[in-house]
């Protein structure tokens, strides 16, 4: 990386001036990253590393065709620019459609509120993981397997474009994941917890109760009856709401998904009703302090907040400049890439359902037999279909939370499920544990949130 902002700006400006006439659009990205990765499985250390990565990529567009070339030696940059331009000119045969944005000159850094993890020695981070491992194991002798993962990453990115944008942006991201598996005879149960932060290392050091709860849930589930598989009215907590809005609905709101799938584009028609009038869904990197927050996306578009559903009606979707140009809509600042090895694609940032007006206790009223599900254990989506496993669950009987049950999976069609929302709670929780995957770019930090929801006719899997 050039040693000063002035050096970087002069170098990239000279290169863009030299090559931009050969393409419709040219971007140069320089990146410096450093991070820590620790993985403990039981008493075994599987990963213990610190690393620094320096590199960049070139994006060139000509007649709608894109060329991407990455590098990790600055002296190769001109050669890589030639490669990207040649690739773009080879495949381009249409019209370059990039929704316009204003050129930006900015230097910005997401602020930390506490200690930078780079100031913490590797030994101390390993000792933190050891302590959490011992906590998981200490809960019960039936805990057979534990896993603790720690990761932190600091990225500094410089973007320069042929349109006059020059941005230097940096941030720090941290994450920890915990799991414990308990066994009793043939019965095996697992509990998980995940947390993340872009604020301070201190956010990771006082998690004893959260860590122990993962093991406690695994042990408790050993003696619980399986839920009887059926269709129920279900109340889900804010953590499951956040998972649902991200996985089941958020990906369908990414405009590249819709643009590349005419059937989905027809389903995701702006103005179509998807839920009750109380339903409001948003995505945006502009709200500060969350793991999906930033100032500019990886194309230099300013962060924004996009309302996706307003009063139950689809009113927006998430865009890169290209998808916005092709669909004749406004860029939303959702073009993101994991690092310089990848091209930016349309990704969620912080996605949430706005809190409602129903007191949480009233969500259970008049449910003769239902299920209350909290936290998450796992899940998958396939287009508009989803299946999520709850971390813990209870039956609801005659409007009251009753006996706990295990093996609760929630399945359905996202559009029907949105339509089946009967009430939206007046609580709200931000879950900062997300690491999103798409297009081979796994672990991109995101936030999600929401209130408790009451949903009718949910297919709940368990014992038949």
What is the C-alpha separation between 61 and 387, in angstroms, rounded?
39
pLDDT value, residue 287: 95
Tell me which residue of 59, 62, 52, 7 sits closest to 31, measured CA to CA.
Answer: 52
Break the chain into its structural domains and give their ranges. 5-221, 230-461
pLDDT value, residue 464: 43
Q: What does DSSP assign to residue 21?
A: G
Question: What is the three-class DSSP state of 306?
Answer: strand
Which residues make Cβ contacts (< 8 Å) with residue 380, sequence separation at least 6? 386, 387
Instruction: Note the pTM of the prediction, 2 decimals.
Output: 0.95
- Phi, psi of 317, rounded to the nearest 5 degrees: -150, 170
Question: Which residues of the chain register pLDDT less than 70?
Answer: 462-464
What is the C-alpha separation between 145 and 379, in angstroms, rounded?
21
- Phi, psi of 182, rounded to the nearest 5 degrees: -110, 145
| Residues constituting the chain | 464
Which residues make Cβ contacts (< 8 Å) with residue 396, sequence separation at least 6? 233, 235, 364, 367, 369, 370, 371, 372, 402
What is the C-alpha separation between 464 and 461, in angstroms, rounded?
8
**Angle, helices 122-138/208-221, rounded to nearest 10 degrees:** 30
| Structural fold of domain 5-221 | PmbA/TldD fold (3.30.2290)
């Amino acid at each position: 990386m050039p040693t000063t902002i002035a050096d970087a700006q002069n170098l990239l400006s000279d290169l863009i001036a030299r090559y931009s006439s050969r393409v419709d659009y040219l971007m140069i990205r320089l990146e410096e990253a450093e991070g820590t990765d620790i993985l403990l499985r039981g008493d075994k250390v599987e990963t213990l590393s610190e690393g620094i990565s320096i590199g960049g990529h070139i994006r060139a567009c000509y007649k709608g065709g894109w060329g991407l070339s990455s590098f990790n030696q600055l002296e190769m940059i001109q050669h890589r620019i030639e490669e990207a331009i040649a690739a773009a000119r080879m495949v381009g045969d249409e019209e370059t459609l990039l929704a316009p944005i204003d050129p930006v000159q900015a230097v910005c850094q997401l602020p930390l509120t506490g200690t930078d993890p780079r100031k913490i020695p590797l030994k101390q981070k390993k000792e933190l993981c050891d302590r959490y491992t011992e906590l998981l194991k200490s809960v019960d002798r039936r805990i057979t397997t534990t896993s603790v993962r720690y990761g932190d990453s600091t990225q500094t990115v410089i973007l320069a474009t042929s349109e006059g944008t020059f941005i230097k942006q940096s941030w720090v991201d941290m994450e920890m994941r915990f799991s414990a598996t308990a066994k009793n005879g043939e019965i095996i149960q697992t509990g998980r917890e995940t947390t993340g932060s872009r604020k301070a290392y201190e956010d990771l050091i006082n998690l004893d109760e959260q860590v122990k709860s993962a093991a406690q849930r695994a042990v408790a589930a050993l003696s619980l009856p399986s839920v009887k598989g059926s269709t129920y009215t279900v109340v889900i907590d804010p953590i499951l709401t956040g998972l649902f809005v991200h996985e089941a609905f958020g990906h369908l709101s990414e405009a590249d998904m819709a643009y590349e799938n005419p059937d989905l584009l027809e389903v995701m028609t702006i103005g179509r009703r998807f839920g009750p009038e109380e339903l409001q869904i948003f995505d945006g990197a502009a709200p500060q302090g969350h793991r999906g927050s930033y100032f500019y996306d990886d194309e230099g578009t300013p962060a924004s907040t996009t309302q996706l559903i307003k009063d139950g009606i689809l009113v927006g979707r998430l865009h890169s400049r290209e998808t916005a140009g092709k669909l004749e809509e406004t860029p939303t600042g959702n073009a993101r890439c994991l690092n310089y090895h990848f091209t930016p694609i349309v990704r969620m940032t912080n996605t949430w359902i706005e809190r409602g007006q129903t007191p949480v206790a009233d969500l259970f009223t008049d449910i003769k037999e239902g299920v209350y599900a909290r936290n998450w254990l796992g899940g998958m989506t396939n287009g508009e279909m989803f299946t999520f496993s709850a971390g813990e669950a209870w039956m609801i009987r005659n409007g009251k939370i009753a006996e706990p049950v295990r093996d609760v999976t929630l399945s359905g069609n996202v559009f029907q499920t949105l339509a089946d929302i009967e009430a939206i709670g007046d609580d709200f929780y931000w879950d900062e544990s997300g690491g999103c995957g798409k297009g081979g770019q796994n672990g991109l930090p995101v936030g999600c949130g929401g209130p408790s929801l009451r949903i009718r006719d949910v297919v709940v899997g368990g014992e038949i």
